[in-house]
Amino acid sequence: MAKQYETVIGLEVHVELATKTKIFCSCSTEFGGAPNTHTCPVCTGMPGSLPVLNKQVVEYAMAVGLATNCKITQVCKFDRKNYFYPDNPQNYQISQLYLPIARDGYVEIEAGGTKKKVRIHEMHMEEDAGKLIHDEWEDCSLVDYNRSGVPLIEIVSEPDMRSSEEVIAYLEKLRMICQYLGASDCKLQEGSMRADVNLSVREVGASEFGTRTEMKNLNSFKAITHAIEGERERQIELIEEGKKVIQETRRWDDNKEYSYAMRSKEDAQDYRYFPEPDLVPIVISDEWIEEIRSRQPELRTEKLARYKEEFDIPQYDAEILTSSKKMADIFEAATAICKKPKKVSNWLMVETMRLLNENGKEPSDITFSPENLAKLVDLADAGIINSSVAKEVFEKIFAEDIDPEKYVEEKGLRTVNDEGALRKLAEEAIESNPKAVADYKGGKEKALGALVGQIMKAMKGKANPGMVNQLLKEMLDS
């Protein structure tokens, strides 16, 4: 009788905050940039340098804590975590162990049709390390401290998840919250959200937890899913063979779909945490908490409900519109201008998503303005431009955020509704396409398309296609 095993998963998620400057110094956090061009004595650990806390980091951390139903620790402090590694310029990381800023929260997720709460054990602020680049030609590594000191919040969950679906749902929920709050753009591939998976297995019905391992280097949802499934199997195999699961950190290689232990004798894992003497405690008043709470924007769940009710948008559409705060903001703003929610929704769901996917981008990368989208909707709705012209104009809006009214005038794209001119062209088309005419009259409705096509081509696409169709039918059916 095969034993049934349950997977028990907890996550440690690091989120890079979207502040302009680092957590303890006024260097820019801008992504990219030549190595070490965003550095100063503080974030490179020079002798005599001292940290000064960025207030925005505290406010973002509070916002995320409140949005995940945590209790805010009203007197919190920083601690030093001591370990030697070149990406850590002081060979200690300023983090929070003893008094993290938020504790005992939860998020609600839905996976496999079931709703569930995933509890958050704690959330704390800390600084990121620099980047190590492994040199290909020489036996050395290169250190870039641009990322050193970028603010992070680490969100530690309880081991409440039981499958990779739940894990993905949890991550998507955290990402949505952070994006909606503007706290982070949470892009796994860019490293602004990083997840370490703690996994153990146990027999179904057992009350004790098994030994867990920690997995790192999971750079996509796909990698996370594979890693979870792979590790579950590896642990089950060990147990069935009567061997013990060793508590260790494993690095996942998604190409090989395999993990290996990252053990080092040189790393005692004894971090000797003690309160950071160079920083003073943070005292968070009830008023401050209320202020942050009041600034919290409408989150996705509330928007979903509202779109359905207020704009009569179907569930599926509303989900896409609210999948990103950027998209939702554009939807709401454009709708407020032109008052045509369904049309705006259509442009976002169809054309916008198509162009984003083609360019490998995400909704948060949208650069066009709601004003221009609203103008386009009005132009198309009024028949001033036809649908294929509208598509063309939209591509320009998407890429360059052009003003469609100006563009249509400059390029002379107005639909031609002149019945006289069209009638003339229709007559010419009928004369020069006897086969198509014969086919049409013989019952092939589609043959009309060739005639329409010729007229549209002659009019450079600006003819009113409805009118063209109507005229042709009129002339041929009689």
Partner 1 sequence: MDILSLTAAELGKKIQAKEITVKEAVLACFSRIEAVEGKVNSFVTIEKERALARAWEVQKAIDEGTLTGPLAGVPVAIKDNMCTRGMLTTCSSKILENFIPTYTAEAVLNLERAGAVVIGKTNMDEFAMGSTTETSYYGETKNPWNLEHVPGGSSGGSCAAVAAREVPYALGSDTGGSIRQPSAYCGVVGIKPTYGTVSRYGLVAYGSSLDQIGPIARDVTDCAVILEAIASHDEKDSTSISREDTDFTSALVQDVKGLRIGIPRDYFGDTPFSGKDKKQGDGSTTQAAAEGLDEEIKASILEAAKSLEEQGAVVEEFDLGLVKYAIPAYYVIASAEASSNLSRFDGVKYGYRTNEYEELHGMYKRTRSEGFGEEVKRRIMLGSFVLSSGYYDAYYLKALRTKALIKKAFDDAFSRYDIILAPAAPQAAPKLGASLSDPLKMYLSDIYTISVNLAGLPGISIPVGRTGKGLPVGMQMIGDCFQEKKLFRAAYTYECLTRKKWVSKWPDLTEEKDSVRKDAAAGREEK
Partner 2 sequence: MANKISDETIEYVGILAKLELSAKEKEQAKSDMETMLDYIDTLNELDTEGIQPMSHVFPLHNVFREDVVKNGDNHEEMLANAPWQKEQCYKVPRTFA
Binding mask 249-288 for partner 1 (x = CB under 8 A): -----------------x---x-xxx--xxxx--------
Tell me the β-bridge partners of 196: 12
The nearer residue to partner 2, 141 or 301, going by C-beta atoms, is 141
Cα 68–Cα 74–Cα 75 angle in degrees, nearest 5: 130
The string of DSSP codes covering 3-48 is PPEEEEEEEEEEEE---SB-SSS--B--S--STTSS--TTTTT-TT
Q: Is 25 in the site for partner 2 (CB under 8 A)?
A: yes
Residues whose CB falls within 8 Å of the CB of residue 30, separated by 6 or more in sequence, listed in order: 38
Closest CA to 102 of 51, 151, 53, 59: 59
Q: Is 29 in the site for partner 1 (CB under 8 A)?
A: no
Q: Is 205 in the site for partner 1 (CB under 8 A)?
A: no
Kindly list the distances between the CA atom of residue 389 and the CA atoms of 374, 403, 448, in Å, as whole numbers in the listed order: 16, 14, 21
Contact region with partner 1 (CB under 8 A), list: 48-56, 156-164, 371-379, 413-421: 48-56
206 makes contact, choosing from partner 1, partner 2, none, with CB < 5 to 8 Å by partner type, with none
Q: Is 282 in the site for partner 2 (CB under 8 A)?
A: yes
The nearer residue to partner 1, 45 or 191, going by C-beta atoms, is 45
**Local structure of residue 351 (DSSP, 8 states):** I
Contact region with partner 2 (CB under 8 A), list: 22-30, 223-231, 392-400, 430-438: 22-30
Contact region with partner 2 (CB under 8 A), list: 266-274, 337-345, 408-416, 451-459: 266-274
Q: Is 51 in the site for partner 1 (CB under 8 A)?
A: yes
Contact region with partner 1 (CB under 8 A), list: 4-12, 40-48, 389-397, 443-451: 40-48
- How far apart CA 327 and CA 320 sit, in angstroms, is 9
Q: Is 52 in the site for partner 1 (CB under 8 A)?
A: yes
- How far apart CA 429 and CA 148 sit, in angstroms, is 69
Q: Is 414 in the site for partner 2 (CB under 8 A)?
A: no
Contact region with partner 1 (CB under 8 A), list: 85-93, 182-190, 224-232, 373-381: 85-93
The nearer residue to partner 2, 26 or 432, going by C-beta atoms, is 26
> Could you say which residues in the range 209-228 bind partner 2, by CB under 8 A?
217
Q: Is 85 in the site for partner 2 (CB under 8 A)?
A: yes
- How far apart CA 53 and CA 343 sit, in angstroms, is 46
With beta carbons less than 8 A apart as the criterion, state whether 238 and 244 touch.
Answer: yes
Residue among 91, 220, 247, 432 that touches partner 1 (CB under 8 A): 91
Distance between terminal CA atoms of the chain?
79
* Minimum distance of partner 1 from residue 127's CB (angstroms): 14
The nearer residue to partner 1, 234 or 251, going by C-beta atoms, is 251
Render the burial of 244-265: b for 16+ CB within 10 Å, e for the rest.
ebeeebbebebeeeebeeeeee
Residue among 38, 103, 343, 462 that touches partner 2 (CB under 8 A): 38
Residues whose CB falls within 8 Å of the CB of residue 286, separated by 6 or more in sequence, listed in order: 74
* Minimum distance of partner 1 from residue 191's CB (angstroms): 22
* Minimum distance of partner 1 from residue 84's CB (angstroms): 6
* Helix, coil or strand: residue 239: helix
With beta carbons less than 8 A apart as the criterion, state whether 349 and 317 touch.
Answer: yes
Q: Is 97 in the site for partner 1 (CB under 8 A)?
A: no
Residue among 246, 268, 350, 399 that touches partner 2 (CB under 8 A): 268
Residues whose CB falls within 8 Å of the CB of residue 359, separated by 6 or more in sequence, listed in order: none
How many other CB atoms are there within 10 angstroms of residue 412's CB atom? Answer: 8
Q: Residues interacting with partner 1, by CB under 8 A?
A: 41, 44-53, 80, 82, 84, 86, 89-92, 143, 266, 270, 272-274, 277-280
Q: Residues interacting with partner 2, by CB under 8 A?
A: 19-21, 25-28, 34-41, 44, 46, 52-56, 58, 77, 82, 84-86, 91, 132-135, 138-145, 217, 251, 262, 266, 268, 270, 272, 275, 277, 279-283
